[in-house]
Amino acid sequence: MTRTELAKRIDHTLLGPTASADGVRALCAEAVEHGVATVCVNPCHVSLAKSLLAGHSIPVCAVIGFPHGMTTPKAKACEAADAIALGAMELDMVANVGALKDGNLEAVESDIRAVCDAARSSDPAVHVKVILETSLLTDEEKETGARLAKKAGAHFVKTSTGFGPHGATVEDVALLRRVVGDEMGVKAAGGIRDAETALAMIDAGATRIGASRTGAILAGVPDEPIG
């Protein structure tokens, strides 16, 4: 995989509580430099990121219910609609992990579906990634969460917020890929700081990588394929 090909799989991310307008400006400049898949920001920064990326084919991704996912489905749907109105073309929503661990599968599905419905009603339609925070789940719960995301109409399942006990693992990426098959994307996020780790996630089945250290990751990949 070339540096350019890997860049097109990366959501270049700035989501911390101290994220500033200057940080978003730097993020977008780096995104343009590297040619990433998306820029992923908090909803309050969607409009700024959209304006900074005008004229470039890099969409803005917004996080919804971040980072804990414990708001109501109605609140998440409203947040999703607002982010879309501001210019977001992808949404990374955090599933209700507590409801999943309680076995309240109807609540989990309704929660995801509320955001998916808001995304489907936009023109053009917006893609939804469902963050399962896999570090907090058993393998059975991960499988159940992925199936519910698929049933509710999401486009991706995602491993982590980056704010949980740990981030993506190769094993979790492989599990999610096995559950959703080829019909959905799998996003690995959290703790991916170098090319070796990013490529291992892709080998395990990830189609998108969430990363804040995009430059360091891409520095470890050749401009042209080897061999």
129 among known catalytic residues: no
Please identify which of the residues 11, 92, 111, 172 carries the catalytic annotation: 92
The amino acid present at 203, given as its one-letter code, is D
Check residue 224 and give its pLDDT: 67
Cross-strand pairs, 64: 93
Identify the DSSP state of 95.
P
Contact 74, 114 (CB under 8 A): yes
pTM for the whole thing?
0.96
Q: Cα–chain-centroid distance for residue 27? A: 16
- For this structure, is 92 an active site residue? yes
Which residues sit opposite 93 in a β-bridge?
A: 64, 130
Pairing of strands 88-94, 127-131: parallel
Check 129, 142, 150, 187 and give the catalytic one.
187
Out of 11, 129, 158, 172, which one is annotated catalytic? 158
Separation between Cα atoms, residue 66 and residue 38, nearest integer Å: 18
Mean pLDDT by 10 residues, the chain (227 residues): 96 97 98 98 98 97 98 98 98 98 98 97 92 98 98 98 96 98 97 97 98 96 67
Exposure of 88 by Cβ count < 10 A (0-12 exposed, 13-18 middle, 19+ buried)?
Answer: buried
Is 117 a catalytic site residue? Answer: no
Q: Residue 155 CB: number of other CB atoms within 10 A? A: 20
Q: Which domains, from first to last, does the chain contain?
A: 3-218 (3.20.20.70)
90 close to 59: Cβ distance less than 8 angstroms: yes
